[in-house]
Each structure stands twice: as C-alpha cells, then as structure tokens.
Amino acid sequence: MSSPKFDRPPPEITIAKLSFPAPRVLLVTISRPKALNAIDIAGSWELASLFDWFDQEPPLWVAIVTGEGRTFSAGADLKAWNAEIGSGGFREMPPSGFGGLSRRTGKKPVIAAVNGIAYGGGFEMTVNCDLVIASATAKFCFPEVKRGVAPFAGAMPRLVRTIGKQRAMELMLTGRVLPAQEAKEWALVNVVCPEGRDVVDEALEWAKVIAENSPDSVIVTRQGINWGWEGVGADEGTRISNSLWHHKLMAGDNIKEGLKAFVEKRNPKWTDSKL
C-alpha cells in the first residue's frame, strides 16, 4: 500500500523501517537483526519522535511494532551502554522510555507483534503496548538481575498491575524465560498465533478491526482505561476523562456520524480524528 498524505513527513530514523500495510495503519519494524534488534539510547529517541509524529498525524489511527528477523528486541544495546558509561557520556532515555514505548502515554493505540524473543527493554515495550500478539515461539524475559542492572524503563510498577506482585517478583528477581503461552495465561499477551501464522498478519487483522471504529471513541476509551491502569481510582478516573474528553467527543463529527448511521441502518463513514 502507498503512503498516505501527511501534514508532516515522518522523522528520519535509522533504527526501524516504516510501512503502511492497510489504510490508517502504521507498521514499525525494528531493523537491527544482526544485533537481535537491540536498541541504543539514540534509537529510543528516534522511536520516541516517531510515535509522537504518529499521534499527531490524522490519517494514522493504529500502529504496530515488530522486529526484523527472529527477534522482537533483545533489549538495550549493552555494548553501546558499556561504552557510554565508560566514557562518562551516558545519555538519558526519552520521557516515553525505552524504544519510545515503555513509558509512553500517547494518544493512539500501539499493538506489539512479538515475533521472537522480547528481553529486557523489549519486554518493557510490550508491557506498555495496548495489545500484544505473540508468535508461538515468542519468549519474554527480564534478565537485568543477571547483568547488575534493573528494568528502569517503566515495567516494574506497570507489570505488577497486570500480573500481581508475586508473579512480577518471580519474573524480575529470577530472570527466568516466560514462553508465549504462559505469558497469555498471565494476561501479558492477548493472542498466541498458531504455528505457521505470521504474527504481523495477525496483528494487522486486529489493527483493522480497531480502525473500523470511530477514531475519536478509540482515543477517548483508551485514555479512560489507562487512567485506571495507572492507579487512579474509578471515580477520579471517570472525572478526569469526562473533564478532558466529554465535550470534545460530543462536539465532534464522528459521534454525529455514528448515531446517524445507526438510525439509517448503514455502516458509518468515519473521518480522521481532530482530538
């Protein structure tokens, strides 16, 4: 599929390849296969700028992130990290975290298509994605304790909200490998693809389903869910969501189109979100 027309061109990045496999969908393929798609600090800043751009481009409604080759991401580029620490020139991560995703709040949904191992920072990225689709051979691991470091990129507090304290402790204190099916049983993965099914193809089908819905509603609903996940109480989260989004949603074109289409018994024709 050809690239849609954007208000601004995507930022130039070297860490990943960009494509547009379906209307309204951005596919980001981390492309350092010889390094098992390890990401250095510069790569995280590149991806942060990319996902910021994605949020601001109306024609794009959903993103998918995957890895080239047999790995999603082996995490931080420890060779680069070691060199930076040794030279005293260590650079901090972007506010949105490792790979521009591990601490991202953002506006639009991002689906992780985990095609192989997701270790360290790679795992931290998936913990904060909105949906996780995994290949049958995908594996997840926090090996930081075996390297004298810690998963600082946002997963420590987020993981416990998803799988509970004891399971989070088990993963992070032992560094054991979690197979895809067990990750699904622990609610860290939405779908495990059967053998022979391409994980990106599966993720793309989910992206298309999301993109069939009102982009305004998707943005507002995603934000409301995240308020709860970040630890805000139900009443407070509802109050914040209503104060930020209710008027904008009600004043938009898509709610009018959705209600009119229902009355006229036809499929709605959504327009790009202005939220």
Residue type, 267: N
The answer to whether 57 is a known catalytic residue is no
Catalytic residue among 124, 138, 168, 237: 124
Catalytic residue among 134, 144, 183, 207: 144
Query: What is the Cα–Cα distance from 77 to 100, expressed in whole angstroms?
Result: 15
The answer to whether 211 is a known catalytic residue is no
Residues 66, 35, 163, 92: is their CA dihedral positive or negative? Answer: negative
* Residue corresponding to tokens 């599966």: 202
Nearest to 33 by CA among 89, 71, 59: 71
The answer to whether 121 is a known catalytic residue is yes
Residues in Cβ contact with 34 at an 8 Å cutoff, skipping those fewer than 6 apart: none
Residue type, 9: P
Query: What is the Cα–Cα distance from 61 to 271, expressed in whole angstroms?
Result: 11
- Stated as kind and residue range, the H or E segment containing 243 is none
C-alpha angle 63-67-71 in degrees, rounded to nearest 5: 145
Catalytic residue among 121, 122, 154, 237: 121
The answer to whether 89 is a known catalytic residue is no
Catalytic residue among 48, 63, 74, 76: 76
Query: What is the Cα–Cα distance from 93 to 98, expressed in whole angstroms?
Result: 7
- Catalytic residue numbers read 76, 121, 124, 144
